[in-house]
Structure 1
Amino acid sequence: MIQYQNEHVTVFQSVLYQTTSTVIQTKDMVLLIDPNWLPNEIDEIKHFVDTIKGERDTYLLFTHGDFDHIIGYQAFPDAKVIGSLALANSSEKEQKLAMIREFDNKHYISRNYPIEFPKVDVGIDKDGQQLCVGDTTLTFYLAPGHTEDGVISVIEPLGIMIAGDYLSNFELPFIYQSAKAYKQTMEKAERIFAEHPIELLVPGHGQVTTDSIEMKRRLDVAADYLERLCEAVVANDEQALDSLYNEHAYLSSFTKYCHEENINIIKREYM
């Protein structure tokens, strides 16, 4: 399903977890970000890319290595892959592939491409690193916290910010790696907004926005939630922790697990 589209950008949204897959086309390149989830959804994205790409090179950017974001990798075998060096050197490759296979087997899903972990052609290892293709410039920022291998990308001159699993309109912080790093990434995102004229924000889950006030609101919501969660964990305030959990959208065993993981990580880092 296409959630958003203009002359240069098409954002597809899966029925699962409102996960986004983005296609950006300039006169120099076609950039595909995190193709996912279901085979028919990936087929739709692939058909769209094949229809528009012409003689342009196709680049495939992974915002991070969570299995839902890499699940469509080999549906685009000719694309040049962009990802962090932490993604390229991940020690959890087999674990992520096992999660894909478990998902597919559990739901009786067959795919027409092999399941493999991305092989990175363009590795990102520092903030401000750039990839220039003609007049199109991609600027990358390391974005740990949710995972250690996250990357936030800015595509210019279009003013697009690809946030990965940050700055959703509904999803509160899921800390899979580090609360301290997550806070630092939110501070970095604030600097990115100040340094780049961002006209379109695309999160990994949820709705895109072109509204700068909404972008700031999402940043403030994430930072405030993290601060209150850390305070509640350190104070061992069970009532506050329960209240914070109930702020999550779509309460389920999954959000309960993520909330408990948030608490465990904060305890390790702050106590």
Structure 2
Amino acid sequence: MVQYENETIKVFQSSLYLTTSAVIELDDAIVLTDPNWLPQEVEEIKAYVNQVRKNRQLYIIYTHSDFDHIIGSGAFPDAIVIASRKLSENKHKVDAMNQVHTFDQKYYLQRNYKPTYPKVNYIVSEDGQELVLGTSTLTFYLAPGHTDDGLFTVIEPAGIFLSGDYLSDVEFPFIFDSYLEYVQSMRKANDIFAKHTISLHVPGHGHTTENKVEMQNRLKFSQEYLEQLLVHQENMEEILQERYIFYEGMKHIHQDNKKLALKEKEHIDQ
């Protein structure tokens, strides 16, 4: 499962949708993101956490409440959970857990833990909120657009940027919440790169990168893609098909993105 590792971080990758889960070793804590997907994959992540944890407190950051990102909740009962206020107060918690149940039922999957909706211990309610863990500082930014409860996290001095389901190299922007909020979250991402020294970017789906040019290219393309949704760029589908090898499996989302973007734009113009 290991996609990337250095002395501070190990990034696990699921067989499904190239979904990532990062384990970050700090001096005084272990930080884990979105443990997922399949039972044996969650167990592999858990085994590694137990191996390196020693006496350190475990923190889990849930980047948003899509069921594939919270499916491992329940496997780490003593973790301190970090998430946005909107994830904590999500009115659709039952729906999310029903999706987990349906997934496991469909594929005959058995888990040695009971999946539960994350109970948030540390709630992020504003941009720039900081959590100091020993010699490290976690800085959080609310990131709606993909979902309304998204969260960006910067870990310093390691220079790690955890972006959740944004800035992926295998997915164009998936807008399930709000086009305008997504645009604003990309502005926040730009501000993050300007304000913080980012040396490693971990997306929720796709590949971890140390390449700063690649980081900027991911941001630039996301911004350009969002702009073209309002202007009907004729060859955009060809561009997407060439850029993303799994485009056929997600092209319907591009059509949904266009409808949502135009709907929000029309509402503003009225």
TM range (shorter): over 0.9
What amino acid is the match of 2:247? L
Q: State the match for 2:250 in structure 1.
A: 255
What amino acid is the match of 1:226? L
Q: Are the aligned partners of 1:136 and 1:156 in contact in 2 as well (CA < 8 Å)?
A: yes
Q: 1:270 to 1:54 in 2, by over 3 A?
A: same
1:229 offset after TM fit, Å?
1.6
Structure 1 outlier segments of 4+, above 3 Å: 239-249
Residue 186 of structure 1 aligns to a residue in which SS? helix
Q: What is the correspondence of 1:67-216 to structure 2 with a 5 Å cutoff?
A: 67-216=67-216
What is the rounded CA distance, in whole Å, between the counterparts of 1:198 and 1:242 in structure 2?
Answer: 31
Q: Are the aligned partners of 2:75 and 2:115 in contact in 1 as well (CA < 8 Å)?
A: no
**Percent of residue pairs identical:** 47
Q: What is the correspondence of 1:51-66 to structure 2 with a 5 Å cutoff?
A: 51-66=51-66
1:31-66 deviations in whole A, cap 9, x for unaligned?
000000001110000000001101100001000000
What is the rounded CA distance, in whole Å, between the counterparts of 2:137 and 2:260 in structure 1?
Answer: 36
Q: Are the aligned partners of 2:229 and 2:262 in contact in 1 as well (CA < 8 Å)?
A: no
Q: 1:176 to 1:108 in 2, by over 3 A?
A: same
Q: Are the aligned partners of 2:16 and 2:37 in contact in 1 as well (CA < 8 Å)?
A: yes
Residue 139 of structure 1 aligns to a residue in which SS? strand
Q: State the match for 1:270 in structure 2.
A: 265
What is the rounded CA distance, in whole Å, between the counterparts of 1:112 and 1:137 in structure 2?
Answer: 33
What is the rounded CA distance, in whole Å, between the counterparts of 2:228 and 2:262 in structure 1?
Answer: 14
Q: State the match for 2:28 in structure 1.
A: 28
Q: Normalising to structure 2: TM-score of the pair? A: 0.94
What amino acid is the match of 2:263? R
What is the rounded CA distance, in whole Å, between the counterparts of 1:32 and 1:105 in structure 2?
Answer: 26
1:243 offset after TM fit, Å?
4.2
Q: State the match for 1:37 in structure 2.
A: 37
What amino acid is the match of 1:122? Y
1:259 offset after TM fit, Å?
1.9
1:242 offset after TM fit, Å?
4.7
Instruction: Show structure 2 runs of 5+ residues with no match.
Output: none
1:250 offset after TM fit, Å?
0.9
Q: Are the aligned partners of 2:34 and 2:70 in contact in 1 as well (CA < 8 Å)?
A: yes
1:16 offset after TM fit, Å?
0.3
What is the rounded CA distance, in whole Å, between the counterparts of 1:13 and 1:26 in structure 2?
Answer: 21
1:92-136 deviations in whole A, cap 9, x for unaligned?
111111111111111010111112111100000100001111111
1:91 offset after TM fit, Å?
1.3
1:255 offset after TM fit, Å?
1.0
What is the rounded CA distance, in whole Å, between the counterparts of 1:245 and 1:96 in structure 2?
Answer: 29
Residue 75 of structure 1 aligns to a residue in which SS? coil
RMSD: 1.4
What is the rounded CA distance, in whole Å, between the counterparts of 1:249 and 1:170 in structure 2?
Answer: 7
1:141-168 deviations in whole A, cap 9, x for unaligned?
0001111000000001100000000111
1:249 offset after TM fit, Å?
3.6
What amino acid is the match of 1:156? E
1:188-228 deviations in whole A, cap 9, x for unaligned?
10110010000000000010111111110100011011111
Q: Normalising to structure 1: TM-score of the pair? A: 0.94
Number of residue-to-residue matches in the alignment: 265
1:258 offset after TM fit, Å?
1.6
Q: Are the aligned partners of 1:245 and 1:259 in contact in 2 as well (CA < 8 Å)?
A: no
What amino acid is the match of 2:170? F
Higher alpha-carbon deviation: 186-195 or 243-252:
243-252
